[in-house]
Amino acid sequence: PGRRVVTAAMSAEAAPGVEPAEAEPGAAAGPGQQQAVLLAEMVEDAAVWCALHGLVVGDRADPRSGTVPGVGLVHAPFSLLPSRFPTSFWKQACELAPIFNELVDRVSLDGEFLQAALSRTKQVDEFTARLLEIHEKMMAINKKEAIRLGLHRSDYMLDSETNSLLQIELNTISSSFPGLGSLVSELHRTLLNQYGKVLGLDSKRIPRNWAATQFAEALGKAWAEYNNDSAVVLMVVQPEERNMYDQYWLANHLKESYGVTTIRKTLAQVEAEGQVLTDGTLVIDGRTVAVVYFRAGYAPTDYPSEAEWKARLLMEQSSAVKCPSISYHLVGTKKIQQELAKPNVLERFLDSKEDIAKLRKSFAGLWSLDNEEIVKSAIEKPDLFVLKPQREGGGNNIYGHDVRDTLIKLQKEQGESLAAYILMQRIFPKASLTPLVRGGDCFEDLTISELGIYGAYLRNKDKVILNNQCGYLMRTKVSSSNEGGVAAGFAVLDSVLLT
């Protein structure tokens, strides 16, 4: 943890980027002290704003905060000020969103490609194998998804070595924080409207962020395409979810703007209460489901028994719109990211040479572990690589010395163990000093940021109804931490200050 600089109770020590005040005891407050007081005021204003506007998560300290709404709330961790980001890279990232949306859709149509690309992973990764099994079953019955809904988030870091915007990953399932992310931009705008003059920061430099309403719009339009006024949206959730307010924001917009009801069920509840009628209609607890929106189901821990797998298969077999379908889910795996980065693969799926060039420019080095040369390099210089298994949700990747140790261990094992992982070029963003607020306390630390750009895609047969960039999520983490998840406790929510 970084240096504790100030709490909401105004026990100021120093302001960000300012040397501690050298004032003599009893002397008048110096500029350092003044700034510390200002900072304390801002922290308090910000924390109050969060409470009044629903920028909240469940508090770990309260055991009921993940299951009972309205109990044990705490403000989401946030950075006190938006992070600087060059306008040119911002535009580049936004422009990529509709292209990635289209790419996901195209790749998802090529079942043979997905099966072949993941065939070796399947032998050593039980979780991926189970997903592929469902996918295979859908291929066998020639299942067609007429209405296709994607709610993605493509994440990027600015690499200081090459001065380029490079993609970390593309999330096609359970892309989180559209709700709270939009609010952080509003929080920062409000703070800069009040304090921007003193700080020399202009609130107009924070891009508007409509991620929550735009995701709700996509869900609402998918619901409308399904064309059954009494049908609901099913949000598939984990039994315990401290990030539930991010999800409730979407449900709230869906209700207010489209009159659509959202029901929340765990995979186990779907198994117990769900059925698919002979015409393909998905019925849960007596209600017809138009859209299944997954905020669970991306990790092995979401499937503690066969019941959860049965539920996933049941929903996939139905005619409900799935966000994501099993094929969209698979397109978002790290193995597919690596396969798409190989020469001449994008060309199989996209027609526009210009679009292909734009995507490729954002690809970092990605390698499969059957490349002996690269494994050798990674053992020699592990700090230049990240070793990634086929997992989501943060906290799964391998860095530094562990890359070497793991690779040596995997090499010694017989069989296909290496196929469970991919290697990625490590990206090195420039670090800067940032005040971070967690649990009402402000800490200053050296941080790096990751920009996520949301994308929504909706198609019914040949008619593309939506293909948009919709808002963003900046996440900022202490630079000494390898991982970046907010829910996983590594990062804080942030927004963008264009430079």
Residues tagged active-site: 153, 169, 171, 176, 334, 388, 392-393, 475
Binding status of residue 427 toward ligand ADP by CB under 6 A: yes
| Residues engaged in binding Mg ion (CB under 5 A) | 169, 171, 392
Instruction: Return the DSSP state at 372.
Output: H
- Which residues ranging from 137 to 176 are in contact with ligand ADP (CB under 6 A)? 155, 168-169
**Residue 47 vs 336, nearer CB to ligand ADP:** 336
The minimum distance between CB 47 and Mg ion, in angstroms, equals 27
**Residue 424 vs 474, nearer CB to ligand ADP:** 424
**Residue 83 vs 397, nearer CB to ligand ADP:** 397
What number of chain residues touch ligand ADP (CB under 6 A)?
19
With CB under 5 to 8 Å by kind, the binding choice for 450 among Mg ion, ligand ADP, none is ligand ADP
Closest CA to 145 of 371, 325, 363, 367: 325
- Which residues ranging from 441 to 460 are in contact with ligand ADP (CB under 6 A)? 450
With CB under 5 to 8 Å by kind, the binding choice for 281 among Mg ion, ligand ADP, none is none
The minimum distance between CB 394 and Mg ion, in angstroms, equals 6
**Residue 264 vs 426, nearer CB to ligand ADP:** 426
Contact 336, 118 (CB under 8 A): yes
The minimum distance between CB 84 and ligand ADP, in angstroms, equals 18
Which residue's beta carbon is nearest to the bound ligand ADP?
A: 484
Binding status of residue 308 toward ligand ADP by CB under 6 A: no
Instruction: Return the DSSP state at 147.
Output: E
With CB under 5 to 8 Å by kind, the binding choice for 386 among Mg ion, ligand ADP, none is ligand ADP
Which tokens is 286 given?
A: 């007596």
The minimum distance between CB 390 and Mg ion, in angstroms, equals 11
With CB under 5 to 8 Å by kind, the binding choice for 396 among ligand ADP, Mg ion, none is ligand ADP
**Rounded Cα gap, residues 306 and 83, in angstroms:** 44
Among 417, 441, 483, 498, contact with ligand ADP (rule: CB under 6 A): 483
- Which residues ranging from 367 to 386 are in contact with ligand ADP (CB under 6 A)? 386
End-to-end CA distance of the chain: 29
Bridge partners, residue 152, by sequence: 455
Closest CA to 174 of 323, 68, 32: 323
Among 284, 338, 484, 486, contact with ligand ADP (rule: CB under 6 A): 484
Helices within 56-143 (DSSP H only): 87-108, 111-117, 119-124, 126-140
Binding status of residue 335 toward ligand ADP by CB under 6 A: no
Binding status of residue 393 toward ligand ADP by CB under 6 A: yes
Which tokens is 57 given?
A: 């998560």
Binding status of residue 110 toward ligand ADP by CB under 6 A: no
**Residue 298 vs 303, nearer CB to Mg ion:** 298
Contact 93, 452 (CB under 8 A): no
Binding status of residue 397 toward ligand ADP by CB under 6 A: yes
| Largest Cα span, the chain | 82
With CB under 5 to 8 Å by kind, the binding choice for 397 among Mg ion, ligand ADP, none is ligand ADP
The minimum distance between CB 211 and ligand ADP, in angstroms, equals 17
Contact 420, 436 (CB under 8 A): no
Stretch near ligand ADP under the rule CB under 6 A, chosen from 23-31, 210-218, 315-323, 419-427: 419-427
Stretch near ligand ADP under the rule CB under 6 A, chosen from 24-32, 47-55, 317-325, 391-399: 391-399
Across 28-64, b (16+ Cβ under 10 Å) vs e yields: eeeebbbbbebbbbbbbbbbebbeeebbbbbbeeeee
Binding status of residue 225 toward ligand ADP by CB under 6 A: no
**Rounded Cα gap, residues 304 and 298, in angstroms:** 12
The minimum distance between CB 17 and ligand ADP, in angstroms, equals 24
With CB under 5 to 8 Å by kind, the binding choice for 364 among ligand ADP, Mg ion, none is ligand ADP
The minimum distance between CB 483 and ligand ADP, in angstroms, equals 5
**Rounded Cα gap, residues 460 and 225, in angstroms:** 7
Which tokens is 459 given?
A: 């198609």
Coil, strand or helix: which one is 461? Answer: coil
**Residue 67 vs 396, nearer CB to ligand ADP:** 396
Binding status of residue 494 toward ligand ADP by CB under 6 A: no
Instruction: Return the DSSP state at 76.
Output: P
**Rounded Cα gap, residues 57 and 42, in angstroms:** 20
Binding status of residue 411 toward ligand ADP by CB under 6 A: no
- Indicate left, alpha or beta for 330 from its phi (over 0: left) and psi (-120 to 50: alpha): alpha
Residue 497: phi and psi, rounded to 5, are -115, 110
Cα torsion at 345, 329, 314, 121 (round to 10°)?
A: 70
Binding status of residue 426 toward ligand ADP by CB under 6 A: yes
Q: Please give the full DSSP string across 177-240, using - where no structure is assigned.
A: -HHHHHHHHHHHHHHHHHHHHHHT--GGGSPP--HHHHHHHHHHHHHHHHT-TT-EEEEE--SS
**Residue 20 vs 400, nearer CB to ligand ADP:** 400
**Rounded Cα gap, residues 314 and 241, in angstroms:** 23
**Cα atoms in the Cβ-side hemisphere of radius 13 Å centred on 323:** 32
**Rounded Cα gap, residues 360 and 343, in angstroms:** 10
| Interface contacts to ligand ADP, rule CB under 6 A | 155, 168-169, 364, 386, 388, 391-394, 396-397, 424-427, 450, 483-484
